[in-house]
Amino acid sequence: MFNRKNSTRKMKKIFQWEEYLNWKNMSNEQKLNLKRACLFPFLVYVVYVFLNKYSLAILLLLGLYFLIRFKNRNKLGR
């Protein structure tokens, strides 16, 4: 089921908190991944606040869009 013969393949580390503590020896890709991981909760919070504030308006606009689309589809069939 698993190919264990190919042991030379490099595995990407997901949980590397010990390496994140040593900032000077990190590669640029690891630094960028750490910055993204730290900023992700802020992005989630901004999206949550936006959806919490405008969810009713978004649902009304989507409902109006589909209602107009449905009515126009019936007019084309005549």
Position 3 in a domain = no
Residues 60, 64: Cα–Cα separation, whole Å = 6
Mean pLDDT estimate for the chain: 83
Position 29 in a domain = yes
Position 1 in a domain = no
Provide the number of structural domains found in the chain: 1
Residue-wise pLDDT for 5-32, tens only, equals 666 667 666 666 677 778 888 889 888 9
What is the pTM assigned to this prediction? 0.56
Position 70 in a domain = yes
Which pLDDT belongs to residue 60?
97
Position 35 in a domain = yes
Going by C-alpha positions, the residue among 14, 48, 47, 46 that lies closest to residue 33 is: 14
Q: What is the extent of the structural domain holding 22?
A: 17-76
Other Cβ atoms less than 10 A from the Cβ of 50: the count is 11
**Helices marked H in the chain — which ranges?**
17-20, 28-76
Share of the chain above pLDDT 90, in %: 41
